[in-house]
Structure 1
Amino acid sequence: MTTSASRALTRPRRVAVTALATALATALTSVSVAGATARAATTAAPKSATLVTDPASVVNPFIGTTGDGHDFPGADLPYGMIQWSPDTNSRPKGGGYDYGDSSITGFSLTHISGPGCDAAGDVPILPTVGAIDSSPGSDSQSFSHSNESANPGYYGVTLGNGVKTELTTTARAGLGRFTFPATTQANLILKVANSQSPSSATSVSVLSNTELVGSVTSNGFCEAANPFTLYFAISFDHAFTANGAYGSTSSGPAGEYVTFDTTANQSVLARVGISYTSATEARANRDAEIPATTSFATVQAAAHAAWDAQLGKIQIAGGTSDQQTVFYSSLYHASLHPNIFSDADGSYLGFDQAVHAVPAGHAQYANYSGWDIYRSQAQLTALINPAAASDMAQSMVNDYKQGGTLPKWAMNNGETYIMVGDPGAIVLADYYAFGARNFDTSAALSAMVNQATTTNNDRPGVGYLDTFGYLPTDSGYGCCHEYATVSTQLEYDSADFALSAFAGALGDSADQTKFQNRAQNWRNIYNPSSGYIQPRHSNGRWMDGFLAYPISGGTNSNDFAEGDSLIYTGMIPFNVAGLASAEGGNSGLSGYLDHVLSGYSGLLSLAGFQANMGNEPSFELPWEYDYVAQPYKTQRDVRQIQDQLWPNTPGGLAGNDDLGEMSSWYVWSALGMYPETPGTADLALGSPLFSQAIVNPGAANQMTINAPAAADGSPYVQSLTYNGAAWNNAYLPKSAVAAGATLNYTLGSSANTSWATASTSAPPSYDGTATSFITEPVGPITSGIAGKCVDDARSGTGNGTHIQLYTCNGTGAQNWTVVPDHTLQVFNKCMDVIGGATTAGTKIQLYTCNGTTAQQWVATAAGQLVNVGSGLCLYASTTNDTDQLQINTCTPGAADEVWKLP
């Protein structure tokens, strides 16, 4: 196998790599290859070609529980509301558990798999023995991995205090079996105020000596501040002998403890139900899903069976034991979110804070990590579970109706606006394309079009796409976590394309054409001189000091979300052929891919020297060789990424799992395909990892993938048949998803550089006409005072430089650009009213363009320039050179308020 270390790092027409960048890239690549070689040397022999019949038993829930994965190992069901799992002392983001820790602080009822911020972790419950101390909320207990086990639907551990804790769950409820030493002081501490996010209100009510209910309101996710309330209800199989609140505050108790006598019966069985609507519903969920007489073994067996049903939607044979475990663990992690949010009776709390109900047989879902999951997790969910994905899609439509926006990064019943773009549109189109059709598609399309065409919180700055044809780097959009203009535009472009595909599928040809064309606006931020996507000022000028991959704090570092131009230049997944053409042809794009894929760090902090296959913006890159007549490089690189970044270890995720997105990438890649094009069922091809895989066995759209010679060292496609006929294309048609297919691969250890290389063999690309870039007038702004112009004092470029009246002289200081957003710019900065004041006499300065009304000017028929923010006119208080201009009450006809734009 060709190693990544052997590939050239040179890149024609591109900004040169600094010596430091080259050295680091080389060092990182060498480390990655060495690690892969070491793992390959210890890999078990291939399994026989027998289909796995109990996939839940193959899962390792500890994968991704240390490092950047942020997964959790506890008990849950597919898309379940409850995730009962241990929290360790470092309590890392979302998952709450780090395999490297040595003590457990509690077993909380909710978790999020792999986010980049703190979330959930509500109501940790910690078993202790002996007297309750003065601060039980800070208690923890030691544990050893030798006394710990987990599989889907079950978690168990014996703590250092001798208490064995076992957890299992249904969708909205769980059973905890706590086996204590024989003692009169067996305690369960309910740390109600110890959610991962700060709690603002708590309550606990003891209903009897066998039951209590309560709630916790937690605040925010990442930078968001929207609160949500979790209600819980716990009953025990025998009475507690004592109880008490601790840490009472104005917001409620920090927690509650209950004490049992276990001298005669050492096991305490706790039944827990949760809800986001009320404590009454939490009790009802518990009693509906786990009646009081239900045994722990019954619930555990049902959970295991539920996971076998979910994971069995894809059957595999062959591969090594580790590869089978990584595959099914990835499918497991990709099946945790979004989460059921409605109660057993259909009740749920909407984005309007009112209680609604779904029809019988359906569920409302929550927790959409949109920026992440639109790339491959949403498609996988729809492919193998279209009924659940249809409900997820309808839930998004419900959220729009009740809250005004499609989910972007929605947590429970609130939008956080974390990350950029309009991923909700893509997720809906993805669900539909891959078979989830049972939702209100008309309402979905209406919501998508509305968000794409009107100023709104979900797509800040969207109007620029039609007026400028791009998002200017120096314009502010005013709300909703807007940043990273270049990344944001590329995300909007993908959303526009997905919208167009969805509209076309529904027969709306007008919107299909409109948004497919506007999706091509990436061309307006592609600089042919550098060969990169670049930040661009609102006056059309490319950003000064541009670096494709800044080492640290580069001049364009704020224009990209979790990446840089090196990575983002390839993020045109709907028109890779168009990008190749812009790059000078297939060889140009191939050279770019060779460069960016010269190594796979999997380290977010080092993005900039190579692809970061531990983070979403790089996920599509290795599949783009399919589009440039080099599919063998896709086969090679995908296999190397699998080998280097996906070990069967707790550290086996190179980045945040992001609610299953990263795990879904592995599932698709192991099947030998990837949903490259947003909103379509187009599948770019790699090569299968297993000798056989059956997707949706027994269904009308069953896909069977046969590759008898599949092996880690044989990733190269020699030939392929599709439904019995020779197939020489590097993609599957859309019909493969809808109708199923049988693929028969011949694989080998040497690249076949002629397979699927014809011009017609590339996956589809979708072109169109970009919004025309507006050429703004440039020249002097002359005054009604004869011979005078608006001038930038001494050609200054610093914020606060005076804007003054001065004799017209034709210098650059008087060369103003009239920009369509109503700004007047010189030296890439804007004419600005100091402090955004609205009072007459306020001076005018040069300032960084920020999109505020203090920098917007409208010309009147009388020749005045009215400042939008103040409603006052640009005014020269004297006729002298160097007189700093100001705003003043508009007086029609006054020469000192008359200005002629270029």
Structure 2
Amino acid sequence: MLAVDYVNPMIGTIGHLLTSTSPTVSLPHGMMKLAPITTPGIADKYLADRIFGFPAGCCSIMPARNAGLPDPSAHSSLYDHDLEHAAPYAYQVLLEDEEILAEMTVSYQSAIYRFRYPVGPEAALVVGFPAGSRLTLLTEHAAVIAGTVAGVPHFTHLAFSQPVELDRMWESERQSGCVLRAAPAGGLLEVRAGISYIGEEQAARNLARELDGRTFEETKQAAREVWQQALGRIEASGGSEEQKTIFYTSLYRSLLNMSSITEDGRYYSAYDGCIHESEGRDFYVADNIWDTYRCLHPLQLLLDPERKQDMIQSYVRMYEQCGWLPQFPFAQGDLPVMTGNHTAALIYDVYNKGYRNFDAAKAFEAMKVNATEVTMLPWVHGPLTELDRAYQEQGFYPALRPGETEWVQEVHGFERRQSVAVTLEHAYDDWCVAQLALALGHADDYEAFMRRSRNYRNLYNETTGFMSPKSADGEWVEPFDPKYGGGLGGRDYFSECNAWIYSFHVQHDIEGLIELMGGAEQFEERLDALFAEQYDGSKYRFLGQFPDATGLIGQYCQGNEPAFHIPYLYNYTASPWKAQRRVREIMKLWYQATPTGICGDEDNGAMSAWYVFGAMGLYPICPGKASYEIGSPLFEKTEIAVSGGGIFTIRAEGVSDRNKYVQAAEVDGKPLTEPRISHEAIAAGSTLTLRMGDRPNKAWGTALPYAGRAENS
């Protein structure tokens, strides 16, 4: 079976506590993304009882048996998952109320919808669009919709296979729209849509360029082939059918992140409100950098470094257009959410792995602006506040004491200061800035940012053994509970997790953290305790305060990204076998081929990318270091097509559910005694051989327990 045929987009469509995924139809990094519009207010897509339409750029379309609908805005249909089929490249469902079969398939900036009505004299199409939009019927076979979404112009060109005429316009509280009458031949009406951010004519050109001369089936087959080519860059052999389904579905999810919005060599940028020439390089948007820097971007880099460099140049362009590096760059502009300056990690990771086809000098300038001129406050974009100045002077972000009233007006009320998370995450980012400064010859900047990279030490409380909040006077905040301290989501001090997780959030200087915690033996004991520590009461009390901390094993939470690297920290102790054990346990417990099969918020593919790496037996514990930790692969052989035509191969001899422990390892026949492999070896197309057994070889991987020491730390 081909890789594309393993993908099940319904995995994760029921959230464990918060959001769910959608069965997205798109091409890898495509601009057009489709999924059925389901019952408002039902967050779990799989559990939604009705379909209200299908997106087509700035509008939605929904078939109806006739035009005489009492309330077009509420028109919907019951549907049954047993009468539905979802794939990355196509979607099909029976709209049961009126027995209409709906199908859709996709290209990069266009889509085809096919509706099969019961044979009759009349059929209708309900078109919805944002209030204030303009609908123009160009001919009886074409229409254009122009509107604005979140301040950004959107255009959709619709082409109909049969003549249509306007029945009436309608408005609701949520949107406006129209009802079109049609007389589909043999009950079949096909609608083609092209989308654009540039203009009406460009939307028509995008549609013509991609779909003229193509039938629905030809478009569907072409999209399937594109997905097979993308997913086939990793070929997994062995393992169970379920493991392959989870693996390739996870890979599909990880390739949706960041979409090219380049249209015939031009793109509209919401960062300055202008149309730009692309100059031969696509412009990418739609990234959750707080989540995706950890392992999704490193995964995409392995598979397509040329595209990844274009993505970084897109970030550079955003900086040139708006004056800072966005945190969550979307087509509608930046959403300044979450914590950190993690674009710095993305940029330096790519640079340090040897890929330089972007303006590194301008990228460094942008990284430095974010680090020194933009507030660190979560969910806020603006100039430095008194809290930022306190950080610069004292080396930590000050926290409020319990009951103390917030006086800094820039603090986002619900999100709070997140003072410990801000300090720790920026310390890592500053390390990334320092390393690029060194590479580019900026000695003074290197020294300054290296000092800041050690700020994590200022919040380690030796008495308690936890990263803990300090008030502006430099005193520890008391009382402080490392498990429950910080209010909802821990946001007074942390970002969605507690001190048990954030005490390990020092990716760039693991050895320094080990030293703080008393040495490798004590560090290992702390890791063991993390996976065993319970809730001091009911589990529902804990999850009520930390709804993002799902996928629990003790206090470890696979359902939130700050925990992702923690199992691999065992590779820096005398027991790398514990990393192998834990990673296998996490994959088995918290990833399944079911609607509940993703244990936390997917966040644009971040949760899925972790599984892809885990199943291959690798993990980039610190983006910015050109190496990957070795875990425990699921497959007998994994082949990755790397840049330049080479193949990196992972052979796991004797691997099985029981045989999860590495007994010995080789790279191209040479013994590997440390539990990590260099990016250079992977990019060169080498072969990593792991000999697996059912009991740990407690001597393997311990020869160089501090290998991978943070560069220039």
TM-score by length of 1: 0.72
1:4-56 Cα distance to aligned partner (Å, 9 max, x none): xxxxxxxxxxxxxxxxxxxxxxxxxxxxxxxxxxxxxxxxxxxxxxxx6x211
Please give the residue correspondences for 1:480-499 in structure 2 after superposition, counting only pairs within 5 Å.
Answer: 481=412, 483-499=417-433
1:374 aligns with 2:289: no
Deviation at 1:79, TM superposition (A): 0.6
CA–CA distance in 1 between the matches of 2:186 and 2:193?
20
Report the equivalent of 2:256: 336
1:324-357 Cα distance to aligned partner (Å, 9 max, x none): 0100000000000111122233232340111112
SS in 2 for 1:204: strand
SS in 1 for 2:487: coil
1:141 aligns with 2:86: no
More helix as a share of residues: 2
CA–CA distance in 2 between the matches of 1:442 and 1:337?
26
User: What is the aligned counterpart of 1:644 among 586, 589, 600?
Assistant: 589
Deviation at 1:478, TM superposition (A): 5.4
Q: Residues 576 and 765 of structure 1 are in contact (CA less than 8 Å); yes or no, is this contact kept in structure 2?
A: yes
Q: Residues 303 and 642 of structure 2 are in contact (CA less than 8 Å); yes or no, is this contact kept in structure 1?
A: no
Please give the residue correspondences for 1:834-849 in structure 2 after superposition, counting only pairs within 5 Å.
Answer: none
Deviation at 1:215, TM superposition (A): 3.0
Report the equivalent of 1:189: 126
Letter of the structure 1 residue corresponding to residue 434 of structure 2: S
Counting matched residue pairs gives 684
CA–CA distance in 2 between the matches of 1:255 and 1:582?
62
Report the equivalent of 1:238: 162
Deviation at 1:733, TM superposition (A): 2.2
User: What is the aligned counterpart of 2:24 among 57, 63, 74?
Assistant: 74
Please give the residue correspondences for 1:87-106 in structure 2 after superposition, counting only pairs within 5 Å.
Answer: 87-90=37-40, 98-106=45-53
Q: Residues 702 and 741 of structure 1 are in contact (CA less than 8 Å); yes or no, is this contact kept in structure 2?
A: yes
Q: Residues 548 and 560 of structure 2 are in contact (CA less than 8 Å); yes or no, is this contact kept in structure 1?
A: no
Please give the residue correspondences for 1:857-868 in structure 2 after superposition, counting only pairs within 5 Å.
Answer: none
Q: Residues 73 and 150 of structure 1 are in contact (CA less than 8 Å); yes or no, is this contact kept in structure 2?
A: yes
CA–CA distance in 2 between the matches of 1:406 and 1:228?
19
1:343-387 Cα distance to aligned partner (Å, 9 max, x none): 233232340111112023x21111121111011111111110112
SS in 2 for 1:201: coil
Deviation at 1:256, TM superposition (A): 1.6
Deviation at 1:183, TM superposition (A): 2.0
Letter of the structure 2 residue corresponding to residue 367 of structure 1: A
SS in 2 for 1:333: helix
CA–CA distance in 2 between the matches of 1:674 and 1:505?
25
User: What is the aligned counterpart of 2:60 among 115, 119, 124?
Assistant: 124
User: What is the aligned counterpart of 1:423 among 342, 345, 348?
Assistant: 342
Please give the residue correspondences for 1:36-47 in structure 2 after superposition, counting only pairs within 5 Å.
Answer: none
Q: Residues 152 and 270 of structure 2 are in contact (CA less than 8 Å); yes or no, is this contact kept in structure 1?
A: no
1:605 aligns with 2:535: no
Extract unaligned runs of 5+ from structure 1. Answer: 1-51, 111-121, 194-199, 220-226, 769-902
Report the equivalent of 1:526: 460
CA–CA distance in 2 between the matches of 1:700 and 1:186?
52
Letter of the structure 1 residue corresponding to residue 27 of structure 2: L
Report the equivalent of 1:309: 229
Q: Residues 681 and 737 of structure 1 are in contact (CA less than 8 Å); yes or no, is this contact kept in structure 2?
A: no
Q: Residues 350 and 356 of structure 1 are in contact (CA less than 8 Å); yes or no, is this contact kept in structure 2?
A: no
1:537 aligns with 2:471: yes
CA–CA distance in 1 between the matches of 2:525 and 2:445?
35
Letter of the structure 2 residue corresponding to residue 380 of structure 1: L
Letter of the structure 2 residue corresponding to residue 431 of structure 1: V
Please give the residue correspondences for 1:248-397 in structure 2 after superposition, counting only pairs within 5 Å.
Answer: 254-262=176-184, 264-291=185-212, 293-360=213-280, 362-397=281-316
Please give the residue correspondences for 1:468-479 in structure 2 after superposition, counting only pairs within 5 Å.
Answer: 468-474=394-400, 479=410
Letter of the structure 2 residue corresponding to residue 345 of structure 1: G
Q: Residues 364 and 392 of structure 1 are in contact (CA less than 8 Å); yes or no, is this contact kept in structure 2?
A: yes
| RMSD (Å), alpha carbons | 2.5
Please give the residue correspondences for 1:438-587 in structure 2 after superposition, counting only pairs within 5 Å.
Answer: 438-456=357-375, 457=381, 460=384, 461-474=387-400, 479=410, 481=412, 483-550=417-484, 553=487, 557-587=491-521
Cα pair distance change 1:628/1:459, threshold 3 Å: farther
Please give the residue correspondences for 1:808-847 in structure 2 after superposition, counting only pairs within 5 Å.
Answer: none
Cα pair distance change 1:156/1:619, threshold 3 Å: same
CA–CA distance in 1 between the matches of 2:560 and 2:489?
22
Deviation at 1:700, TM superposition (A): 5.0
1:178 aligns with 2:128: no
SS in 2 for 1:623: helix
CA–CA distance in 2 between the matches of 1:708 and 1:476?
61
Deviation at 1:435, TM superposition (A): 5.6
Letter of the structure 1 residue corresponding to residue 396 of structure 2: Y
Letter of the structure 1 residue corresponding to residue 207 of structure 2: R
Cα pair distance change 1:348/1:434, threshold 3 Å: farther
1:399-437 Cα distance to aligned partner (Å, 9 max, x none): 111111112012214111111111221222233345653
1:547-572 Cα distance to aligned partner (Å, 9 max, x none): 10117838965111101111100000
Report the equivalent of 1:168: 105
Cα pair distance change 1:566/1:760, threshold 3 Å: closer
SS in 2 for 1:736: helix
1:568-624 Cα distance to aligned partner (Å, 9 max, x none): 000001111111111111122112211222389996527496111011111111111
SS in 2 for 1:371: helix
Deviation at 1:257, TM superposition (A): 1.9
Letter of the structure 2 residue corresponding to residue 177 of structure 1: R
Deviation at 1:300, TM superposition (A): 0.8
Letter of the structure 1 residue corresponding to residue 49 of structure 2: S
Q: Residues 377 and 665 of structure 1 are in contact (CA less than 8 Å); yes or no, is this contact kept in structure 2?
A: yes
SS in 1 for 2:189: strand
Please give the residue correspondences for 1:704-715 in structure 2 after superposition, counting only pairs within 5 Å.
Answer: 704-715=649-660
1:801-854 Cα distance to aligned partner (Å, 9 max, x none): xxxxxxxxxxxxxxxxxxxxxxxxxxxxxxxxxxxxxxxxxxxxxxxxxxxxxx
Cα pair distance change 1:443/1:431, threshold 3 Å: same
Report the equivalent of 1:154: 90
CA–CA distance in 2 between the matches of 1:743 and 1:372?
28
Q: Residues 368 and 407 of structure 1 are in contact (CA less than 8 Å); yes or no, is this contact kept in structure 2?
A: no
CA–CA distance in 2 between the matches of 1:493 and 1:692?
38
1:765 aligns with 2:710: yes
Deviation at 1:231, TM superposition (A): 1.6
Report the equivalent of 1:680: 625
Report the equivalent of 1:209: 140
CA–CA distance in 2 between the matches of 1:767 and 1:537?
31
Cα pair distance change 1:549/1:675, threshold 3 Å: same
CA–CA distance in 1 between the matches of 2:263 and 2:301?
23
CA–CA distance in 1 between the matches of 2:161 and 2:19?
37
Higher-Rg member (1/2) = 1
SS in 2 for 1:574: helix
| Comparing 476-485 and 669-678, the one that deviates more | 476-485
Report the equivalent of 1:830: none
Letter of the structure 2 residue corresponding to residue 145 of structure 1: H
Letter of the structure 2 residue corresponding to residue 299 of structure 1: T
CA–CA distance in 2 between the matches of 1:254 and 1:150?
29
SS in 1 for 2:83: strand
CA–CA distance in 1 between the matches of 2:662 and 2:444?
40
SS in 1 for 2:94: strand
CA–CA distance in 1 between the matches of 2:488 and 2:233?
46
Q: Residues 149 and 332 of structure 2 are in contact (CA less than 8 Å); yes or no, is this contact kept in structure 1?
A: no
1:860-901 Cα distance to aligned partner (Å, 9 max, x none): xxxxxxxxxxxxxxxxxxxxxxxxxxxxxxxxxxxxxxxxxx
Report the equivalent of 2:378: none
1:403 aligns with 2:351: no
1:55 aligns with 2:29: no
Letter of the structure 2 residue corresponding to residue 273 of structure 1: G
Q: Residues 642 and 685 of structure 2 are in contact (CA less than 8 Å); yes or no, is this contact kept in structure 1?
A: no
Q: Residues 627 and 763 of structure 1 are in contact (CA less than 8 Å); yes or no, is this contact kept in structure 2?
A: no
1:118-139 Cα distance to aligned partner (Å, 9 max, x none): xxxx522111112432321111
Q: Residues 164 and 180 of structure 1 are in contact (CA less than 8 Å); yes or no, is this contact kept in structure 2?
A: yes
